[in-house]
Amino acid sequence: MTATQAFIAACADVLGAAHVLTDAHDTEPYLVDWRKRYRGRACAVLLPADTAQVAAVMRLAHEHRIAIVPQGGNTGLAGGATPDSSGAQAVIGLKRLNRIRGVDPHNNTITVEAGVVLSEIQARAESAHRLFPLSLAAEGSCTIGGNLSTNAGGTGVLRYGNTRELCLGLEVVTPQGEIWDGLRGLRKDNTGYDLRDLFIGAEGTLGIITAAVMKLHPAPVAKVTALAGLASPHAALDFLSMAQHHAGALLTGFELMSDFSMRIVGKHFPQLRYPFAEPHGQTVLLELSDSESDAHARALFERLMEAALDEGIVENAVVAENLAQSRAFWDLREHIPLAQAEEGLNIKHDIAVPISSIGRFIDETDAIIAKAVPGARMVTFGHLGDGNLHYNVQAPEGVDAKRFLDEFQTPINALVYDQVHAHRGSISAEHGLGQLKVDEAMHYKSPVEVRLMRAIKAALDPHNLMNPGKVVRADAPAAKENIA
């Protein structure tokens, strides 16, 4: 019996045979990501029911030296949850760890297992008159374990932070199969190294997150949305500062949408009405979340818009008069990716730069791309309040999108990432590295940072059993300098 066979047999003893999948038909959904960009193979797909079973399986994997790929809702965008092509790795699916262990309204916390779907957490918080502010497109199927492992962002970051900032405590199964109980619901705790934040965003390469204590916020009584038309990203930056001074922490959304983004939404979804008579170079969507009243939020917006129009920062503005109109404004923003897909394949970048650099970054990078690929069409939109842009490049009008991608994806990625690097930005703002960007990350990070990451990986996972090949290449030759 090989080590792999012995491992699978032992897992069946622990989990029950029904929860150890080896048949090709059964394992298929776990071996390909939802966009079908990555496909792998696995010796087995393991479906533990609770933390103790995850730990037992991990101890077996450690004993038999089987590499593990943790997987939640399988909605990632960087291939972080797909096994490699060797067939030697095992996938641990965490969807059966789907209990909400408790809600503590006075502590404003909810304790959840890794496999709980994000929208269920939002709903449970709401029923306790609280807000769980993490919100993103995949919320109906992504799991909180995946959100934590990729430190997911979304539309609420401006006010509430990334998933990292929403987490107070973790339960983690280590690569050795121990259970670290760090399920603390504390706002202040200075008793040693911050293990929690080390596991968050590590994409399953240091251990398996099995449960978490997440922060809740008071539920706002009103959410009001507004749109503003402006000339440029530079004007949008001035407007952001102004909005932050007027609204403080009430400002929960500040999204930028370029003219071309709005044009393709109008072209492919003509039922969605752009509220201004004339196009604007940029359109900003703002959201206020108010603990007083709808009327208070609208009055605040009116004052802000008046001031911004007076100072010539904004060309035109409209405040939503009701929930339906607020929804309609968000629809414009949320249909940009769909309109892009209708328009054809494109080259996507999920980048961040310091907020103050966004105008210069767009100006410079647009010019560089226009020179390299005349006619390329830029679909630029995103979370301006976080410095996070979806900076996507569409083939020139009439050019075959597939051929465009084949020819230009690699050079355009290099142009964009070089620009991001020059502006001290991030090549993956909210999607993680997975297998998609691990080489780029190793390229752009300093040798010191790569050495520190490798040292941590080797210290916690000396046999490289946890999601190998993702985030940091532990198996690659070490950076040249080795001064330890």
Q: What letter represents residue 383's amino acid?
A: H
User: Residue 326 Cβ, how far from a copy of itself at the closest point, in Å?
Assistant: 18
107 vs 325, which CB is nearer to a copy of itself? 107
Question: 68 or 373: whose CB is closer to a copy of itself?
Answer: 68
Helix axes 323-334, 336-343, angle to 10 degrees: 40
Which of the 8 DSSP states describes residue 186? -
- Of residues 193 and 324, the one with the C-beta less far from a copy of itself: 193
Q: Which of 34, 270, 253 is nearest to 133 (CA)?
A: 253
Tokens in use for 278? 């004339």
Q: How far is the CB of 318 from a copy of itself (least distance, A)?
A: 22
Find the shortest distance in angstroms from Cβ 22 to a copy of itself.
Answer: 28
Q: Is the Cβ of residue 273 or residue 443 nearer to a copy of itself in the bound state?
A: 443
At residue 94, φ and ψ (nearest 5 deg) are: -105, 10
Cα–Cα distance for residue pair 58/209, rounded to 1 Å = 12
Cβ proximity to a copy of itself: between 357 and 392 the closer is: 357
Determine phi and psi for 296, rounding to 5 degrees.
-65, -45
* Residue 191 beta carbon to a copy of itself: minimum distance, rounded to whole angstroms: 5
**Packed helices 336-343 and 259-268: angle between N→C axes, nearest 10 degrees:** 70
Integer Cα distance of 96 and 73 in angstroms: 11
What single DSSP character describes residue 353? Answer: -
**Under 8 Å CB-to-CB from 38, ≥6 apart: which residues?**
32, 79, 82, 435
* Of 285 and 353, CB closest to a copy of itself: 353
Q: State in angstroms the smallest separation of the CB of 47 from a copy of itself.
A: 24
For helices 3-15 and 51-64, the axis angle rounded to 10 degrees is 170
Q: Are 99 and 116 in contact (CB under 8 A)?
A: yes
Residue 37 CB, shortest distance to a copy of itself, in Å, is 18
Amino acid at 117: V
What type of residue is 319? V
**Cα(187)–Cα(129) distance, rounded to whole angstroms?**
20
Q: Report CA torsion sign: 105, 110, 111, 115.
A: positive
Nearer to a copy of itself, 75 or 394 (CB): 75
Instruction: Quote the least distance from Cβ 133 to a copy of itself, whole Å.
Output: 11
- Secondary structure class of 109 (helix, strand, coil): strand
Please, which residue, 114 or 460, has the CB nearer to a copy of itself? 460
**At closest approach, how far in Å is the CB of 68 from a copy of itself?**
16
Q: For residue 34, give both structure tokens.
A: 């939802």
* DSSP structure class, residue 426: B
Closest separation in Å from C-beta 362 to a copy of itself: 14
Q: What is the largest CA-CA distance in the chain?
A: 79
CB of 461 to a copy of itself, least distance (A): 9
Which is nearest to 224 in space by CA: 132, 331, 332, 326? 326
Cβ proximity to a copy of itself: between 97 and 179 the closer is 179
Closer Cβ to a copy of itself, 103 or 336, answer by number: 103
Provide the b/e sequence for 464-479 (b: ≥16 CB within 10 Å): bbbbbbbbbbbeeeee
388/17 Cα distance (integer angstroms): 45
Minimum CB separation of residue 397 from a copy of itself in Å reads 32
We find the least distance from the C-beta atom of residue 13 to a copy of itself, in angstroms, to be 20
Rg (CA), the chain: 23
Q: Is the Cβ of residue 177 or residue 395 nearer to a copy of itself in the bound state?
A: 177
Question: Can you give 359-402 as a three-state secondary structure string?
Answer: HHHHHHHHHHHHHHCCCCEEEEEEEHHHCEEEEEEECCCCCCHH
* Smaller CB separation from a copy of itself, 170 or 373: 170
